[in-house]
Chains A and B, each alone.
Chain A
Amino acid sequence: MDTSKHKIDIDYVAQLARIELSDAEKVKFSGQLENIITYCEKISQVNVDGIEPMSHSFPFYNVWEEDTPESTFAVEDVLLNAPKADEDQIVVPRVVEE
Chain B
Amino acid sequence: MSNELFFKSAAELGELLDKKEISAVELIQSVIDRTKKIEPRVQAFLATNEEKVIAEAKASDERRAAGKKLSPLDGIPVATKDILADKGVQLTCASKILKNYISPYTSTAIERLRDAGAIMWGRTNLDEFAMGSSVENSAFQATHNPWDLERIPGGSSGGSSAAVAAGETIIALGSDTGGSIRQPAALCGVVGLKPTYGLVSRYGLAAFASSLDQIGPFARTVKDVASTLQIIAGHDRYDSTSFKANIPNYTESIEKNKGPWKLGVPKEYFGEGLNPEVRVFIEKAIDFYKQQGCEIVEVSLPNADLAIPAYYLTATAEASSNLARYDGIRYTHRSSDATDAIDIYSKSRAEGFGDEVKRRIILGTYVLSSGYYDAYYVRAQKVRTLIRRDFEQAFQRVDALLTPTSPTAAFKIGEKATDPLSMYLSDIYTISINLAGLPGISIPCGFTNNNLPVGLQIIGKPYAEAQLLAIADFFEKAHPHYTKNPSL
A and B: real partners?
yes
Binding site for B on A (CB under 8 A): 1, 8, 10, 13-21, 25, 29, 32-33, 35-37, 39-44, 46, 48, 51-58, 60, 63, 65, 73-74, 77-78, 80-84, 90, 92-93, 95
Which DSSP category, helix, strand, loop or mixed, fits chain B's interface? Answer: helix
Please measure, in the bound complex, the distance between the C-alpha atom of A55 and the C-alpha atom of B211, giving whole angstroms: 7
Q: Do B211 and A53 touch across chains, with their CB atoms under 8 A apart?
A: no
Which chain B residues lie closer than 8 Å to A56 at the CB level?
Answer: 211, 241, 437
CB-based nearest B residue for A53 = B381
B350 within 8 A of A: yes
Which chain A residues lie closer than 8 Å to B330 at the CB level?
Answer: 81-82, 90
Which chain B residues lie closer than 8 Å to A10 at the CB level?
Answer: 362
Q: Do B379 and A43 touch across chains, with their CB atoms under 8 A apart?
A: yes
Q: A17-B362, A21-B358, A93-B340 are known; give 20 further A-B pairs, CB within 8 A.
A: A13-B366, A19-B350, A20-B349, A29-B358, A33-B359, A33-B362, A33-B363, A36-B312, A36-B420, A39-B309, A43-B313, A46-B303, A46-B383, A52-B382, A54-B384, A54-B388, A58-B197, A80-B102, A81-B330, A95-B341
Which chain B residues lie closer than 8 Å to A73 at the CB level?
Answer: 104-105
Please measure, in the bound complex, the distance between the C-alpha atom of A51 and the C-alpha atom of B435, giving whole angstroms: 16
Binding site for A on B (CB under 8 A): 100-102, 104-105, 197-198, 211, 237, 240-241, 303, 305-306, 308-310, 312-313, 320, 324, 327-334, 338-342, 344-347, 349-350, 353, 355, 358-359, 361-366, 369, 375-376, 378-386, 388, 420-421, 424, 435-437, 462
Please measure, in the bound complex, the distance between the C-alpha atom of A77 and the C-alpha atom of B85, giving whole angstroms: 13
Pick from A32, A83, A93: contact of B339, CB under 8 Å = A93
Which chain A residues lie closer than 8 Å to B324 at the CB level?
Answer: 18
Q: Do A63 and B240 touch across chains, with their CB atoms under 8 A apart?
A: yes
Which chain A residues lie closer than 8 Å to B329 at the CB level?
Answer: 83, 90, 92
CB-based nearest B residue for A76 = B104
Please measure, in the bound complex, the distance between the C-alpha atom of A81 and the C-alpha atom of B101, giving whole angstroms: 6
Q: Do B462 and A81 touch across chains, with their CB atoms under 8 A apart?
A: no
CB-based nearest A residue for B351 = A20
CB-based nearest A residue for B347 = A20
CB-based nearest A residue for B214 = A57
Q: Do B306 and A46 touch across chains, with their CB atoms under 8 A apart?
A: yes
Please measure, in the bound complex, the distance between the C-alpha atom of A85 and the C-alpha atom of B362, giving whole angstroms: 30
Please measure, in the bound complex, the distance between the C-alpha atom of A84 and the C-alpha atom of B340, giving whole angstroms: 15
Chain B: minimal CB distance from A36 (Å): 6
Please measure, in the bound complex, the distance between the C-alpha atom of A31 and the C-alpha atom of B198, giving whole angstroms: 37
Which chain B residues lie closer than 8 Å to A82 at the CB level?
Answer: 330-331
Pick from A16, A39, A58, A63: contact of B369, CB under 8 Å = A16
Taking each of A8, A20, A60, A78, which has the highest tally of chain B beta carbons within 10 Å of its own beta carbon?
A20
A17-B338 contact, Cβ under 8 Å, with A36-B312, A51-B382, A57-B437:
no
Q: Do A77 and B104 touch across chains, with their CB atoms under 8 A apart?
A: yes
Chain B: minimal CB distance from A69 (Å): 15
Which chain A residues lie closer than 8 Å to B379 at the CB level?
Answer: 43-44, 48
- Shortest 9 CB-CB distances between A and B: which pairs? A57-B437, A53-B381, A83-B334, A81-B331, A63-B240, A40-B309, A48-B382, A20-B350, A18-B345
CB-based nearest B residue for A51 = B382
Which chain B residues lie closer than 8 Å to A58 at the CB level?
Answer: 197-198, 437, 462
A53-B384 contact, Cβ under 8 Å, with A16-B365, A29-B362:
yes
A36-B237 contact, Cβ under 8 Å, with A51-B385, A52-B385, A57-B197:
no
Mind listing 26 A-B residue pairs with CB under 8 Å?
A17-B349, A18-B324, A32-B421, A33-B359, A36-B363, A37-B363, A40-B309, A43-B310, A43-B313, A43-B376, A43-B379, A43-B380, A46-B303, A53-B381, A57-B197, A58-B198, A58-B462, A60-B198, A73-B105, A77-B104, A80-B102, A81-B102, A83-B329, A90-B329, A93-B344, A95-B340
Which chain B residues lie closer than 8 Å to A60 at the CB level?
Answer: 198, 240-241
Pick from B105, B328, B339, B369: contact of A13, CB under 8 Å = B369
A19-B102 contact, Cβ under 8 Å, with A13-B365, A40-B312, A92-B344:
no
Which chain B residues lie closer than 8 Å to A42 at the CB level?
Answer: 305-306, 309
Which chain B residues lie closer than 8 Å to A46 at the CB level?
Answer: 303, 306, 383, 386
Taking each of A8, A16, A52, which has the highest tally of chain B beta carbons within 10 Å of its own beta carbon?
A16
Which chain A residues lie closer than 8 Å to B100 at the CB level?
Answer: 81
Which chain A residues lie closer than 8 Å to B237 at the CB level?
Answer: 65
A17-B101 contact, Cβ under 8 Å, with A33-B359, A54-B382, A58-B198:
no
Which chain B residues lie closer than 8 Å to A77 at the CB level?
Answer: 104
Pick from B312, B346, B366, B388: contact of A8, CB under 8 Å = B366
A40-B211 contact, Cβ under 8 Å, with A13-B369, A18-B327, A29-B358:
no
Please measure, in the bound complex, the distance between the C-alpha atom of A1 and the C-alpha atom of B105, giving whole angstroms: 47
CB-based nearest B residue for A90 = B330
Taking each of B327, B364, B381, which has the highest tally of chain A beta carbons within 10 Å of its own beta carbon?
B381
Pick from A40, A51, A52, A84: contact of B376, CB under 8 Å = A40
Please measure, in the bound complex, the distance between the C-alpha atom of A10 and the C-alpha atom of B339, giving whole angstroms: 23
Chain B: minimal CB distance from A90 (Å): 6
Which chain A residues lie closer than 8 Å to B437 at the CB level?
Answer: 56-58
Please measure, in the bound complex, the distance between the C-alpha atom of A17 and the C-alpha atom of B349, giving whole angstroms: 9
Which chain B residues lie closer than 8 Å to A52 at the CB level?
Answer: 382, 385
Please measure, in the bound complex, the distance between the C-alpha atom of A46 and the C-alpha atom of B240, giving whole angstroms: 33
Q: Do B436 and A40 touch across chains, with their CB atoms under 8 A apart?
A: no
Chain A: minimal CB distance from B194 (Å): 12
